[in-house]
Amino acid sequence: MVVFREPVDVPRARPAVRPACVDLDLTLVDGWILQGADGVIVDIGVTDGTLLGWTTADLVSDTAQSMLHPGDREIATKVRDRVRVEGGSQTLHLRARAKNGRWVWVETVFHPAPLPDGRLGERTCVTVRDVSDRYLGHEVMSLLVDLRQTVAAATTARSAWQRTLSLVSQLVPFDTAVAWEDTSSGIAATEEWVRHPDPEPRCPRCLDALRSEVRAAWGDPLPRRVALPAHRCIGRTALPSTLLVKVLGADGTAAVVEFVGSQVDDTSSAVQLVGEAFGQIGDALRRKHTETELALARRRFELAFTEASIGMALVAPDGGFVDANDALCKLLGRTRDEIREVGFQAVTHPDDLEADVAYVNRMLAGETGTYQLEKRYLRPNGEVVWGLLSVSLVRDDAGNPLHFISQIQDITPHKEAERQLQQSVARFRAAFDDSALGMALVPLDGDGRGLIIEANDQMRRIFGCDHLVGVAVDRLVEIDESVFTSDDLLALTPEAPAIRVEVKAAATEEECWLRLVAAPVRLEDEEHGRFVVLQVEDITDERRVQAEVTHLALHDSLTGLPNRVLMMDRIERAQERSERTGHHFGVLFVDLDNFKDVNDTFGHGHGDGLLVSVADRLRGGLRPNDSAARLGGDEFVVMCEDLSTDVELAKRELAAIADRLHDRLAPPIVFQGDELFVSASVGSHVSYGLREPVRAVVSNADTAMYQAKSRGRSRTEVYDAAVRARAAERLTVAKELRAAVSSDQFHVAYQPIVDLADDRPVAAEALLRWTHPELGSVSPADFIPVAEESGLIVEIGQYVLERVCAVLAGSNSPPGYLTVNVSARQLSQSDFVSRVMTALEVWGVDANRLALELTESVLVEASTSSHRQLAELRDAGLRIGIDDFGTGYATLRAVRDLPVTFLKIDRSFIAGLTTDDDDLTISKAVIGLADALGLDTVAEGVETREQADLLRELGCPHAQGYFFGRPAPFDTPASC
């Protein structure tokens, strides 16, 4: 494309007189161009005032390359550099853009332009002659048009070659032609055609040299003359000329054709036409290697006209339609017969007819070979459609016009888009000043690149500045270069997506957060078309709310301490720092002693007040880098970093911190006039680096805390030998569990689940109970974790499942469905689904009468395969529920994506339902969340009428708890 520049001091039309440095005959050319070694035009001469419509002012100081078609630039550069350095002349037929925007064929002759001292290498002189008519003459046009028939008629690759060469022979005289193709064994000769009756044989030496030349020609855009070895083959009387011409396909070089003959000339313009001709069948030659591919290619070629996606027509010189394809019929809203009855004038909008006819007359007069025009067409119903018309003229051997080939592409949507774009620009201009957002316009080109040139009132109000014009964006906001830089802004292109970032306003008295959107646009009515529109919104309040929400998500709502999620993250960060620095870190698991007595004696209000005071005292007893968290209930965790690199010294440092916490908790806490005394059992565990999982670090401290509880409370125990003793104890429990499974020491109790609308039982939860022959009733809290750890939970879980199915299969089975608790170990079994479905099938129980409950943490941490198993069971009709919901860390997305059908609100929230606003809010949120996701809700731990009535008002459908009935065997009525 020609780049328009400021006019230079040159004549408007310099005659095409011979340049002083070159001895040329310029009587038969349109002009000449003198260009430097870098291709920049330094001088120009023309014959009729312009060169392809360009004046000298248009072209001087530009590059000749910018005028050429992109597909011709490489070969033109190679020839220019060869002639400039080596001398001689070279003729090329190239495509160049005329002033009116069309591509025309020109014959260019490259000459060396020596300096006054005779040296070569600095300049090149190129003569230019428009030969478009020659390229559209009958001889060439017939050749190119007949290629379609050639490919359609050919049934094999050989016949395609033969028919094509028969046409090419009209342009290039050759004795022998050989096709070299890329076969499975490498580049080899596949076909040979002999026009001379007695071809002379080639010796092996010639063939080897020729193969090397073919490989070189495979990547060379120029026809390649072959220099045979300097010897005579046996029997040869003369060395004929050999020329290699590359055949291009859509995916690269399809073949190389070798022409041999005494009259073959690589400088002939016909050779270039041969390259074009072969290029048109390059893909076809490859497709015709099999009979099936040949038929498909021929069919596609035959249907090119009728099945084209754009309108095509053959138009007689008088304007009448000879033929039209279906696409054109659809475009014009007429049948093919109706189109044949009218001329193109009848379907052309009157306002566009004059320009169209003028182009036609110019083509008929031989002034141009093709033209392209945007015009409007009329349908019979008066509807107007826009088309992009491309027309070429076919002439006979005498040069008389035969018919026009017209291609019409429907551009109505594009024109409509242009109209809408213009309206959009107008709306943009109108809405810019009145926008509720701060808006500014920043150019990406010119002297003002990157500086605001226009800003609306809202923009000025946001930044508190009346003068924003000429200010760079990075002076208004604090840029975080890891997210966004001013270079990112300046590099935007119209095709690039908008930049959306949140930044701080610079130099403001109060913290001000902004949402900045930088969108690239092109305004055609501006001298420089590339701009960025900045949209700025004050989101300070929004950020403040987000910060509060984040704080609530990561902190305990009662005490303000970090919650479990945040503490786990901090421990993980501490592990990484410990790994780098070599310092140990420690965890203290703090559990208040007899906290339940405070709740039972004074009520939950005093209990909450006690927890808040304990949290304050914990904060006050920590070092700057330590942190405390509330895990839930009366459990706290303290994490201490930067302990000694020596493990024993680190343990003593952690013990000292624990002692300080005991001392701070010793004084009574006064709440609403009552003195509350509190102590704590503390478990201490020192860790280093990444040796332990985060949960193991906390679990070890938790285990040590239980040791402190068992040893009298109000003390600190370190995770060491005591842990091993506890492990031995757990092994004993595991052994007793195995005996319990085989000796039928287990039984199942059922706690009713009622419909809060009428307190009618609709289901029941199956709860496992263990009666030891010596220890008596053993709490599930004591044996379930051991069963989980030892793997016995799988067998025990199967026992519960079988008992529940047996009850459901009984003649007087309970109403509704029964729920069974499922552990993480059970869910991880690959045959979990088959176990459940087999039990239902054996006992003849409908799947919708069985429900499975899993804790929130088990569901969130379960693998994808476990989720698939649950989804399979849910799809089979089983109910799937989340037990103790709200105590884990399931996100809204996780709940939505998990295969569950109901939620159970944890009893800890129900306990404070009537006394604690936070518990009420959480319960209300869970009920609303379940309702929004189409899930059922069950409230656990309902113990009073007030709790039941409030849950009913909140819209909770189901509940269970001691208020409705305690767990009991199925044949024993549940007591209320």
pLDDT at 750: 93
Report residue 301's pLDDT band, with 50, 70 and 90 as the boundaries.
very low
What value does the CA radius of gyration of the chain take, rounded to a whole number of Å?
45
Higher-confidence residue of 162 and 565: namely: 565
C-alpha to C-alpha distance for 456 and 454, rounded to whole angstroms: 7
- Percentage of the chain beyond pLDDT 70 is 82
**CA 921 from centroid of its chain's CA atoms:** 39
**Tokens describing residue 660:** 């300080």
**Residues contacting 230, CB < 8 A, separation 6+:** none
Strand 627-632 and strand 879-885: the pairing is unpaired
pLDDT at 723: 60
**Residues contacting 505, CB < 8 A, separation 6+:** 462, 463, 476, 477, 478, 512, 513, 514
b or e along 434-452 (b: 16 or more beta carbons within 10 Å of the residue's beta carbon)? eeeebbbbbbbeeeeebbb
pLDDT digits (tens, 9 = 90+) for 628-668: 999 888 999 999 999 999 999 999 999 999 999 999 988 98
**Tokens describing residue 94:** 């190239």
C-alpha to C-alpha distance for 112 and 534, rounded to whole angstroms: 54
pLDDT at 661: 92
pLDDT at 763: 94
Handedness of CA 199, 200, 204, 205 (dihedral sign): negative
Rounded-to-10 torsion of CA 632, 636, 641, 645? -120
Of 461-465, 597-601, 619-623, 839-843, minimum mean pLDDT range: 597-601
pLDDT digits (tens, 9 = 90+) for 357-396: 999 999 888 888 889 999 999 999 989 999 999 999 888 8
Residue type, 947: Q
Nearest to 72 by CA among 27, 33, 36, 104: 104
pLDDT at 174: 73
What are the distances in angstroms from CA 29 to CA 48, 72, 127, 129, 622? Answer: 11, 20, 7, 5, 95
C-alpha to C-alpha distance for 136 and 370, rounded to whole angstroms: 9
pLDDT at 3: 27
Whether pLDDT at 877 is above 90: yes
Phi, psi of 204 (to 5 degrees): -55, -35
Q: What is the mean pLDDT of residues 843-871?
A: 84
C-alpha to C-alpha distance for 206 and 209, rounded to whole angstroms: 5
C-alpha to C-alpha distance for 684 and 654, rounded to whole angstroms: 7
C-alpha to C-alpha distance for 80 and 74, rounded to whole angstroms: 10
Q: What is the mean pLDDT of residues 592-607?
A: 82
Rounded-to-10 torsion of CA 749, 755, 759, 764? -10
Report residue 432's pLDDT band, with 50, 70 and 90 as the boundaries.
confident
pLDDT at 4: 25
Average pLDDT of the residues of the chain: 81
What are the distances in angstroms from CA 45 to CA 18, 41, 56, 350? Answer: 8, 11, 8, 41
Phi, psi of 402 (to 5 degrees): -95, -60
